[in-house]
Structure 1
Amino acid sequence: MFTSKQLAMAGGLMLFSVSTLADLTFSSDEADFRLEVVAEDLEHPWSLAFLPNGDKLVTERAGRLQIIRDGELVPEPISGVPDLVVSGQGGLLDVLLHPDFESNQTLFLSYAHRTREGMTTRVARARLEGDELKEVEVIFEALPRSNTSRHFAGRMEFDRDGNLYISVGDRGEMDRAQDLGDDAGGVHRVTVNGEPVPGNPFVDQAGAEDTFFTYGNRNIQGMTIHPETGEIWTHEHGPRGGDEINIISAGTNYGWPEITYGIDYSGLPITMHTKKEGMAQPLHYWDPSIAPSGMAFYTGDLFPEWQGDLFVGALKMRKLVRLEIGDGDVTEEEDLLTDLGERIRDVRMGPDGALWLLTDSPRGKVYRTVPAN
């Protein structure tokens, strides 16, 4: 692996050229790999999706939905993106294709939205026709709104039954995550039309929002489906410490802020408890915090040594984390790309067998990992 000194000799962490980056080789315990720069100069790219025709969609938090076509960033973004607000951590967030996208051209966008009542997280459904979104319809809106610009969450995933999972952060108002009458601080499960899925755990509970699937979640920015079990895995930001990986289960309370392995940013405790009856323990947690974002299981053929491993991006610690999973638990952890010096915002398993990464900066990049040889 290249050291920080070697990178500095090549021109500095922030200044080396695209061609230099493309030639950098990195090592993991299992495989050597290199990074290819697919696109650059994106303004805080947040999410990536692969179209059946080979195009890639990239969201920029600044509000643009971009296309990568034939290895090049198309100059003009896709038109028809719904009205949104760019504020703090909010903006255009996730993009997710309908399971039957090839036949219906339908996709979903999550984003921050503002009215006079404040800001919130919305999800819109749209049809992609050429380079334009049509039939844009809001199918989910987290209520009540608030004036904070933090913790919008916004990650989405489909399960094998075609149900849509949407994460909503606690909006920086931690006690909201324990209130089932407040949409903040949990995962919502809806149909493609935004209706609560029949059988949702709180459908018949008075005073509870019937779209809730889990609650007690602080700010989930990683969500993926296990390739074998079909379970939905998530990770969420803790405060100072206590970032968590969870396998989400219907009706489960994940404890925030009643239990946490982190402390407040002031250095004071949030709670004295890391465990409480009726609240789930994380599958895995980080202390100190790595600020995780983006997550994918590796299922491709380019790196057979990585098969079944879970990859997590890190913003604060500027790295990619590889986790080996055995019997539903983390058995080994390895830090990758620590010398790259980039905030990893999203991690995606590509249909080409490569692992794809987005970096979070005003001049963000799209990377593709390929074998060193």
Structure 2
Amino acid sequence: MRHGRARQHAPMNTRSRRLLPLVVALAAGLAANPAPAAETLRPVVVASGLDHPWAIAFLPDGRALITEKVGRLRLLRADGTLSAPLAGLPAVDVRGQCGLLDVAVDPDFKRNGLVFWTFAEPGDGGNSTALARGRLDGDKLSEVRTIFRQQPKVSSSAHCGSRIVFLRDGTLAVGLGDRFSRRDDAQLPGNHLGKFVRVDRDGRAPADNPRAAGMAAEVWSLGHRNVQGAALHPQTGELWAVEHGPQGGDEVNVVERGRNYGWPLLTYGRNYGSGTRIGDEGPRAGFEQPLKVWVPSIAPSGLAFVGSERYPGWQGSLVLGALRGEALVRLTLDGRRVVAEERHELGARIRDLRQGPDGWLYALTDGADGRLWRLER
């Protein structure tokens, strides 16, 4: 598949940003494919028989919620058994990369019982990524409603995204894909394609969203391709995210209010088929440079910061899964600077990666017989 030529839209943010050292290193040709780390992780099967699991979220009572892309939300009980699919979800359009996607537990769950999830919602014109919420009471959902819908609907089965992160103020940041066939729309502030949006628990746009001229009220940032992992920095409260590039150009970014992350005018990826350049591959006024780029692609997925003593020497590291890379990737950070990378080969496509309340890292494998692994050392 080939993309069309990118239209030149004036970027929203015209402030020039300094090129970060890691991008300089990439341009200088330093190793983009480091050797696997000598230390190995031991995957312990916690659950199996999952149909293309997409996300896991832990509940305060020792259970967890797991989404299956085919449209099922299931409870993983403390004894390791899986519930039947929970009833009450809205209709899910399951096609290609789209279906039932991320799930997040409200930080005030003990008080309000709320859980949130994203999914491909069918409708006139195709589908789009939507955000729903419901109240979990025991093993049942109630008061289910869709609180945000990506606009416009698109006839596409690709690049639905998405990840949900609760920010410190209780609002939700949701990463949304460009839907592949509409990549230029990632630079149009008036829609939700290729954006992070920020909404409250009712789906309303907070008053302190950027709201620049012509910008949709919910938009937080723009110029994203296909967000597949996101996490809140435990010390700074910053929103970190990873997204897929085309034929290389996977990125790590700190996602900030009103910033433009360049896609498709600034990218280290290449057009499918022809391998030709898509946009600029260096500093460009008005666009944010990624903190880390992978060429060739590893297809990054779930993202987490390590705060556990289960992994000595890893505290403060950023870890992520890799679909194409079939690995756990650990990035050592110095502030916002990535100073080292190591890969732990797992031999399976990793769709989500989270740190559990017990301090262990948990990984979901992608596939018709997906598994939940606890990664022990």
TM-score, normalised to structure 2's length? 0.88
Gaps of 5+ in 2: 1-35
Deviations 1:97-151 (A, max 9, x none): 1110011110101000111321100000110012111101111100111101110
Return the alpha-carbon distance in structure 2 between the equivalents of residues 78 and 258 of structure 1.
Answer: 42
Deviation at 1:71, TM superposition (A): 3.3
Deviations 1:218-243 (A, max 9, x none): 01111000011110000110001110
Return the alpha-carbon distance in structure 1 between the equivalents of residues 83 and 210 of structure 2.
Answer: 45
2:63 corresponds to: 55
Equivalenced residues, count? 341
Name the amino acid aligned to 2:285: E
1:4 corresponds to: none
1:218 corresponds to: 225
Return the alpha-carbon distance in structure 1 between the equivalents of residues 116 and 241 of structure 2.
Answer: 19
2:257 corresponds to: 250
Deviation at 1:75, TM superposition (A): 4.4
Evaluate the alpha carbon distance shift between residue 241 and residue 106 of structure 1 in structure 2; reply closer, same or farther with a 3 A threshold.
same
Residues 1:134 and 2:142 aligned together: yes
Deviation at 1:93, TM superposition (A): 0.3
1:190 corresponds to: 199
Residues 1:349 and 2:355 aligned together: yes
Name the amino acid aligned to 2:160: F
Deviation at 1:341, TM superposition (A): 1.9
Deviation at 1:31, TM superposition (A): 5.7
2:248 corresponds to: 241
Deviations 1:41-81 (A, max 9, x none): 10110000111111111000001111111332324121112
What is the CA RMSD across the aligned residues, in angstroms? 1.5
Q: Percent identity?
A: 45
Using CA pairs below 8 Å that are at least 6 residues apart, which structure has the higher relative contact order? 2
Return the alpha-carbon distance in structure 2 between the equivalents of residues 222 and 70 of structure 1.
Answer: 25
1:360 corresponds to: 366
Return the alpha-carbon distance in structure 1 between the equivalents of residues 85 and 200 of structure 2.
Answer: 28
Deviations 1:238-261 (A, max 9, x none): 001110000011100000000101
Name the amino acid aligned to 2:159: H
Return the alpha-carbon distance in structure 2 between the equivalents of residues 251 and 232 of structure 1.
Answer: 13
Residues 1:231 and 2:238 aligned together: yes
2:24 corresponds to: none
Gaps of 5+ in 1: 1-27
SS at match of 2:185: helix
Return the alpha-carbon distance in structure 2 between the equivalents of residues 353 and 75 of structure 1.
Answer: 24
2:314 corresponds to: 306
1:175 corresponds to: 184
Preserved CA contact (<8 Å) 1:31 1:303: no
SS at match of 1:304: coil
Residues 1:41 and 2:49 aligned together: yes
Return the alpha-carbon distance in structure 1 between the equivalents of residues 231 and 280 of structure 2.
Answer: 31
SS at match of 1:177: helix
